[in-house]
Amino acid sequence: MPNDRFQFKQFSIQQDRCALKVGTDGVVLGAWGNVQGAERILDIGTGTGLLALMAAQRNTVAHVDAVEIDDASAGQAAENAGASPWSDRIRVHRLDVRRMSAAEPYDLIICNPPFYAGEMDSPDVRKGLAKHSGELSFEELIEAVRQLLAEEGRFACIIPLNREAELVELADAAWLGVSRRCVLRYLEGRPPKRVLLEFVRDAGAPEEEELIVEHTPSQYTEGYRELLKDFLLRF
């Protein structure tokens, strides 16, 4: 999927200056997160601006703030947002979410967070910042969500399945419970590698689902096609 330019049905992503490119995890989260009724949306670690753009396409009235710590990525995300049909509703901020304050809380917070905890630093420092949780830990992410989320708000993210228990425990300590859960398999018959989670403050039993991307390489499942039909040109 990665390339210097990625064309969607209603917007385009330029990503030659971004540490991480458009990928399956991001587009799945952007289409899966529940944007219904949200008036204020926050994208933490926006990178290319993908999640902010997808949220603005799906919710035609929401104001979307996108924060990014990397200068080059923040600049390119701002350009991508400015070239989109929703430039008047998306604002990209070059800042550290751990130092962020908001005049009003957010109805929805979305994040495709760094998650390779404990691995060696990447040779590319910028890519390392984007991919490794040494820069923004799960603890710091949940604390930011706790401070910035509206009382009735939702937090949606995608993480490795083998770190789910860690994030859920941290969220529980911040009075956030899982309301929706989707296990993601890239290829049918292979073990799942990712899980999508939605948290709220007053969660009951979570809705459980599974999404498989491909039956065989390049043979996409109906569920994946249905989820991404408004975004990917191939569908």
Are the beta carbons of 107 and 45 closer than 8 angstroms? no
Dihedral sign for Cα atoms in the order 82, 86, 88, 93:
negative
Segment 92-103 mean pLDDT: 93
Cβ contacts of 42 within 8 Å, gap of 6 or more: 64, 65, 66, 67, 102, 106, 108, 109, 110, 148
Tens-digit pLDDT profile for residues 108-130: 999 998 764 444 333 444 444 44
pLDDT band at 135 (very low <50, low <70, confident <90, very high): confident
The answer to whether the pTM exceeds 0.75 is yes
DSSP 11: -
* CATH T-level fold of 5-228: Rossmann fold (3.40.50)
Residue-level pLDDT at 116: 47
Burial 179-188 (b: 16+ CB within 10 A, else e): bbbbbbbbee
**pLDDT of 222 above 80:** yes
For the chain, give every domain's residue range: 5-228
